Structures are given as C-alpha cells and as structure tokens.
Amino acid sequence: MESKSWFVGPSGFRSRDERLKIDASNKVSEEDGSDVSATETATGETSFAEPINDQLYVLYEPSDGNYDMEIIFVHGFYTEGSSDPWRTTWTNKDGTCWPREFLGTRFPRIRILSVSYDACVITNSTQGRMRLSTVAESLLVNFFLSSSNVGQTNNCPVFFVGHGMGCFVIKNLIIKVSQRYRQFEKERAKLLENVGGFVFYSPFNSGAETSLYENEPGKSNSLTDVMKVHNPDLSELNADFANLRSQMKEERKSRNLWKRSGLQRSETFVKEGTARQDCEVFMFGVGDHFNVCRHQSTKDVAYQCFESQLNSTLESIRNSLKEILPRESIRNPSEEILPPEIIRNPLEEILPRKRFSILFPYKLPFYSYEAFVEAAKTFVPQGFGVDGSEDEKRREIAALLAHFDHGTSGLTYKEYLPPAEAYCRPSNEFPCHPGKSYHGRGPLQLCMNYNYKLCGQGIGDDSLLSCPEKLSEDPVIAFKAALWFWCTPQCPKPSCHSVMTGMWTPTKKDIKDKRLPGFGLTINIINGYQPDKRVKKYIHFCKQLKVDPGKNIDCSGQKMYG
C-alpha cells in the first residue's frame, strides 16, 4: 500500500482581532447558526456522535457494525473557552459535520472516528499538559482497546486526517506504531499494514512564523513549543515520518497507499512552502487556517480531491484483493460484490508450480500443486502468505515445506501404514468411532482424535472424526488439515504461522525457556523429533526460495512444551 497526504490551507482574510476572537476559538460561532450540541445535528437527529470513551467518538458507522474503511480525525490546538474541538473542528458554518454527512453518504460502509485530547494552548504541565509523544502513545493504547479496535480489520484501509497540531500527533503516532517493542506488537503490525493514507490541513512543517495564539493568557508549553520555526524536534519528527512513508511505499509497491496530501490557503499563519513539504498532492482550500478544514459543500474542490484520494486507495485495495482472496470475500465498500475475476493466491507468487515440482521430484500425484494452492486460499484470511515481510513470507513457506518433506519423505506417502495403534484418547467431547484410526495422515501427518475433531471444525468439515480417512482420499482436505494445524495456536503453543511471520511475542516464561521466534520453535510445536534433519531441510528450502534462514533455526536448549 502506498500512502497519500493532503494539506489544506486558508483562503480569505479577516482583521487580526477578528481572527483571534472568532477563528482562533476553533469553535463554530452562534452567529452562523451552527453551535450544534454533541447530541444534536442540524437536522434534529439525535446522537450526533457516540462516545467510545472520553478520547474517541464515533461520528459515523454502518448500523450493522461492518465497515470496509476507517477514517480517524485528529484536531489541533484550541483556545480557552472552546468546547468539543473533536466536533467543532470539523463542523462548518451551516452546522454540518461534514465527515459524517458528506463521507457517510458517499461511503456508507465507512467508520469515522474523531479523537479528543488536551490541546488547549494555555494548559501547562501542572494542569496535566502532555508532550506530543505522550499524547500519541496515549491514543495508541486507546486505539487497541477492545472497545475501539482501530485498524484491526483485515483488508480495511485506515486514513488519518489532521488539522494543525493534529498532523504531528498523527505523525508521532504512526512512528510509534512502526517501532517493534513488545506491547501490542500484533495490533501495531496490523494497523501499520492497514494504513491507507493521510490528509493534513494546514500543517506547520517548519513551524509558524506568527503565533496563532499569542494573545492568549498563560505561558508556552511543550506542545506549543513545537510551533517554533525550525524546531529541531519537529524537524526530526518530519524526517522520521518521511523516511517511514518512503519505506512503506516501497514495501507496498502501490501508488495509491501511504500517500500524504496537504491542503492550505492563505499564508497568514502557515507558509505554503512549509505546508507542501513531503506531500505528493497539494491543494488550496477555502477558508483561513481554522476554517480550511470545514468543508462547506461537496462542491468544494478540496473536498472532491479528498474523496478522490479515498476512491483511488479503495480501488488499489480491491485490485490487490483480486489477486489474493476468493471472490466471495471481496467487498466493494460503496457498492456491490465485485464481478468474477481470476484470483491469484499469494502462495503462487512465492512458490510457482515449476519450483514446487523441482523441490518434490518424487511426490505422489495425490499431492498436486493445484490441491495445495486451493487449500491455501482458505487460510489467506488468517494471514497465510499475507502476514509478515517478504522475507518472513518466504521463510514461512520454506519452514512448511521442510516439515512436509520430513513427515512424508518428500510427499511420497499419505499415511503411516499399518498403524500401530488407533491414536485415540477417548472423551465425551472427542468420541472415537468404532473401527476408525486417527493415525498420521496428510502432509503434516495429523494424528489423534481430538485433532481430527478440531481440524474438521476449523476447515468446515464436521465429518473428519467419523471419516478420518478423508485426509488420505481428498488432497485438498489433506492440505487444508496441514494448514489448519500450521495456522492454529493450541495453548500454550503458538501457531507455527505466527512464529514464522513475526506475529507472536514470547512471554517471560518462553524467554526463560529459550522458546524464541524462528524455525526451531516450529519443531518444538510439532513434536520435536529429529530436529537436526528438519533444520537441514529448512536451510535447503530457504536456499531454493532465495531467503536467509533467519535466527533461532534449531530447538537446542529450548524447553519442550508439555
């Protein structure tokens, strides 16, 4: 995905006193008839916004709770006496909250959230003033609460829209998302994967030459200090954000994701040059610094450019999904299901048919490439072939093939025959059927009655417990069973998939027991037998798929799972 950012600046001039009294209030005036309360819209509807908590408000979402895109609005500074900046920043003089009314109408499958944080210019540290990085970290924790769940929906792009200081809160937040430390590691990775783009209204990338609030009481504070011209902290933040966007655009290889667009108009407070920095699309908006983010109509050219950016990103997402997801799972966020297309599986990109045949020259016809690819499609929504970096994706396939090779001597047999036992552990939940054996079958040699039962539930075939022989009769079911075991955690064991793709974070106990992410842990998870042979096979497959094996490739020193 590639990301875009926008910058909207003000047009129209008022006297300095007028600006400070009216515009700097960051509040829609009563004169304009738009002092709308938080629970009432201009049309008289109730529930203008539904609070998730005191930092996050839902401006719009589909009634069924299912959405295909998220937009997060982050306000900037406001002055003493202003109320509800999370709302008034985005409400025009007619009392219309344009994100809710304009975007909600155009994109009915969208979720729109507005952030609230303390950005009052007179608040100091003794009153609870937080630094820019602390504000971002606080919001990030909020995003990952189960009640918020921001950026955690598969194939659902997330846009960030900021005004003034809000632009830099967003930049700081995104940088923190990209940092790899243990808290919320899985959630951070998913949000980073889903970032669609950025729209910035009047960002002061090089600082503001004139204080927006110099007539306000109180002293400068850690947030207002960043507005100083050429503030080194602000310069460093901008550089880090630009580098991250460049890196992500390269990884996503898309022209429509991770873009930054900017909108601005008059240069009263923010110079056009500073607004244009690191911006693929720049647009002049309507209104001064405070009103440029309050679109009056869907006819505003700046709004139309914003809408166009959303459309192009969604189209990019849909095109990429055509290549990796079954047609049924692709949703057009604003219209109907996409028409039939030839769908490519991510497995095919990493492991083409010819390579598969070379790697398993003596395999049984039963283990066909077509069956493997068909089965893999079922697990794309769980991240198979999708999660992780390019190297991690290749390592995962190499690891899986190494275990296939070891368990079946190069895919040359379907099951252990004759079975030495029935591999049954009787229970009411997993009853064994008379005359049936639950010995190892398929590419990963799935065994035990409880695994057959759980696997059947996982792949949508409840007959596996009564008909375990399906795994040696139907090649697609055989590969599905292997991928189910690979992608499914079984407490306390993580899934092999999460271990190989960076989606698993070891606990303190895991670290103490030397169970760390890497191929070695997959040996531990599966059964721990003959680790040296498996490691040699893994190194061989990594070489064939042109990827470094990575760290922790053997399980020596690891404590085995009970």
Distance CA 457, CA 11 (A): 60
Average of per-residue pLDDT values in the chain = 76
Query: In this structure, how many other beta carbons lie within 10 angstroms of the beta carbon of residue 81?
Result: 9
3-class SS string, 58-91 = EEECCCCCCCCEEEEEECCCECCCCCCHHHHCCE
Cβ burial 366-393 (10 Å sphere, 16+ → b, else e): bbbbebbbebbbbbbebbbbbbbeeebb
Domain 346-545: state its class. Answer: mainly alpha
pTM above 0.75, yes or no: no
| Residue 166 pLDDT class (50, 70, 90 cuts) | confident
Question: pLDDT of 65-83, one tens digit each?
Answer: 888 889 999 988 776 556 7
Q: What's the pLDDT band for 313 if we cut at 50, 70, 90? A: confident
CA dihedral for 538, 540, 544, 549, sign (positive or negative) = positive
The Cα-based distances of 48 to 101, 166, 295, 360 in angstroms read 11, 22, 18, 61
Ranges 7-21, 72-86, 266-280, 408-422: which has the least confidence: 7-21
CA distance 177 to 133: 12
More confident residue, 351 or 199: 351
| 469: Cα separation from own chain's centroid | 39
Quick one: pLDDT band at residue 527, thresholds 50, 70, 90? confident
CA distance 36 to 95: 6
Please state whether 410 falls in left (phi above 0), alpha (psi between -120 and 50) or beta.
Answer: left
Q: In the prediction, which pLDDT does 194 show?
A: 85
Q: In this structure, is the dihedral angle defined by the CA atoms of residues 255, 153, 5 and 182, taken in order, positive or negative? A: negative
How much is the pLDDT for 26? 36
User: Same fold for the domain at 51-323 and the one at 346-545?
Assistant: no
Q: How far apart are CA 7 and CA 280, in angstroms?
A: 10
> Which residue reads 């999904």 in tokens?
321
Closest CA to 163 of 50, 36, 279, 263: 263
Domain ranges for the chain: 51-323, 346-545
CATH number of 51-323: 3.40.50
**DSSP-derived secondary structure for 519-540:** HHHHHHHHT--SHHHHHHHHHH
